[in-house]
Copies of this chain bind each other. A is one copy, B any other.
């Protein structure tokens, strides 16, 4: 098989296959720690920086430094200098489900020609504002609609592959979050 032939859906499946083989031989290689740092800019505006992560038993650098700005719209007392945090959460979910579907399809030789999605969730601000103790503060249900160019049989498989998404699993199963605060 040539390098050209190992590429499905724009993904070099030989890289994933090598990763799988290496992890099967040494499961420690699978352990990753992802991390970001965030700097409060002022008001509702803050900025996240992503430099690298730990994986394959070593510190890894991204090819470039990534920065993401978050802010709130004026009705929530912000200046609208970035998507707001819950929109960033929906972004993470849409991105992760998309990549999970496309990558799992690729290693199985299933070609996807086009794929797009819309994702939405409801929030009752009385929770965040502390006006109603019984009102959830976050999303309780999130709806994602995916449109893909693939056979109806493959569409069913894509839906199954969405179940591999780490972000989807974190949100549906829940995760513990430890927040520690110290002075500076």
Chain A positions within 8 Å of B, measured between CB atoms, are: 9-13, 15-16, 19-20, 23-24, 27, 30-40, 42-46, 48, 50, 53, 55-56, 60, 62-64, 66, 68, 70, 72-77, 79-80, 82-100, 102-104, 112, 114-132, 136-150, 152, 155-156, 158-159, 162-184
Q: How far is the CA of A138 from the CA of B37 in the complex (A)?
A: 20
Q: Which residue of B lies closest to A56 (CB)?
A: B75
CB–CB A91/B90 < 8 A: no
* Other A-B pairs beyond A63-B73, A127-B164, A136-B173, 17, CB < 8 Å: A10-B43, A13-B77, A20-B131, A23-B131, A33-B123, A34-B87, A34-B120, A34-B121, A35-B118, A36-B87, A38-B95, A39-B116, A50-B91, A128-B164, A143-B178, A147-B182, A148-B183
Given A138-B170, A145-B180, A145-B182, answer yes or no on A37-B116 (Cβ-Cβ < 8 Å).
yes
Given A23-B131, A60-B73, A182-B146, answer yes or no on A38-B99 (Cβ-Cβ < 8 Å).
no
Given A55-B75, A136-B169, A138-B168, answer yes or no on A36-B179 (Cβ-Cβ < 8 Å).
no
Given A137-B166, A176-B141, A181-B159, answer yes or no on A42-B130 (Cβ-Cβ < 8 Å).
no
Instruction: Please pick, from B9, B89, B100, B183, the residue contacting A92 in the complex, using a CB distance under 8 A.
Output: B89
